[in-house]
Structure 1
Amino acid sequence: MATKSVQALLDDIRLLGGEQLSLSESVRKLVKRTIPSVTEEVKYGGILFASGVQFCGVFAYRQHVSMGFGSGAKISDTLGHLEGGGKGHPD
């Protein structure tokens, strides 16, 4: 079975709505600008980003777009922008 391309997934996200597509593309641009050597892979229904190891992904849904981080519980979020606990969260 062939893996879906990033462009094919973006075409599907476009069907969810312009805001979901815009947010997903904005995340891709930010990640690529921040880590020029990043690679992308479609997996688990979203776009996963890696640079040696997978570190985050962007996932579009009907009502929202989310980002997941492989080790998000280790991120210092002093501004309080992140939600959720996930594995390894101290709470």
Structure 2
Amino acid sequence: MRNMNFSTSDKVNDFLSDIQSISSEQFDMVMAIRDIFLKANEELVEGIKYGGLVFNVSNILVGGIYTYKEHISIEFSNGANFIDTDSVLEGSGKKRRHLKIYESDDISQKNIAYFVNQAVNN
């Protein structure tokens, strides 16, 4: 059974409300990406950290969603270890990688679900 923290956090709800009040387009994209994360692993717990929506499995940060004026960034804590045959992940650090989402089509074109599954199930 999913941890009930995923939908009851006032901080998460406030964060989502803030996004919705600023941009309905970004809100729709954040909700679609959030849904991908939440469906990927029943043990996933979401919260707010570093100014974004973060996801943890067994108290380990696996990724997050961060909104910016022109895009949404999906951050993966161990993205450097992901299989990325199309080289869509960005970043050059030892561990983290990210994807920039500019429009809703990017969610499928950049195969977000593929990377989220690697993040939350490995």
Normalising by structure 1, we get a TM-score of 0.84
Contact 1:59 1:66 in 2 (8 A): yes
**Alignment match, 2:72:** 65
- Match for residue 38 of structure 2 among 32, 37, 46: 32
Q: Sort the Cα spacing of 1:88 and 1:39 in 2 relative to 1 into closer, same or farther, 3 A.
A: closer
- Match for residue 77 of structure 1 among 55, 76, 84: 84
Uncovered stretches (5+) of structure 2, i.e. residues with no partner: 1-8, 97-122
Query: One-letter code of the match for 2:83?
Result: S
> Quick one: higher RCO (CA 8 Å, sep 6+), 1 or 2?
2
State the distance in 1 between where 2:47 and 2:95 align.
25
Structure 2 residue matching 1:66: 3-state secondary structure: strand
Query: One-letter code of the match for 1:51?
Result: V
Which structure features the higher share of helix residues? 2
Root-mean-square deviation (Å): 1.8
- Does 2:61 align with 1:54? yes
State the distance in 2 between where 1:63 and 1:16 align.
12
Normalising by structure 2, we get a TM-score of 0.64
State the distance in 1 between where 2:84 and 2:70 align.
24
- Match for residue 41 of structure 1 among 19, 36, 47: 47
